[in-house]
Structure 1
Amino acid sequence: MTPEQTQTAEKMKSVKAAWDKAPSGPKKDAALRHYQAAEKAHTANNEAETNKELNAASEKLS
């Protein structure tokens, strides 16, 4: 794993933990959609898209 991939994997864990703690509602639902898109991009080894979706998920949760 490259340093970028390791950093992205850590970011995914962080966003998932924040999502798990978030109260139910439309923001959590929107964040889940972005997180799922990030997972899909991560599987496709698209680091840029993964980070974009993780940032969007984090924004929805804040």
Structure 2
Amino acid sequence: MAGLDTMIFPFYTEYWSFLVFFVLFSIGVVWRYSGSRWNGMFRNRIFKSKIVRLWKTTNDKRRTTNN
């Protein structure tokens, strides 16, 4: 019966942290790409607005330092 644990759970004793990470990562990937369209658009809009704001501030700083 001692080998039965390793037969049923072959990765539990040694690689349990990797399996937990892999399961959480796969759930996150599925959650990201299978979400509703509104949620994806909302998330992308926030992300794009942050990028545009950062780009504008860096360009303004460049303009002020060049003049």
More helix as a share of residues: 2
TM-score, normalised via structure 1 length: 0.34
Greater relative CO, 1 or 2 (CA 8 Å, sep 6+): 1
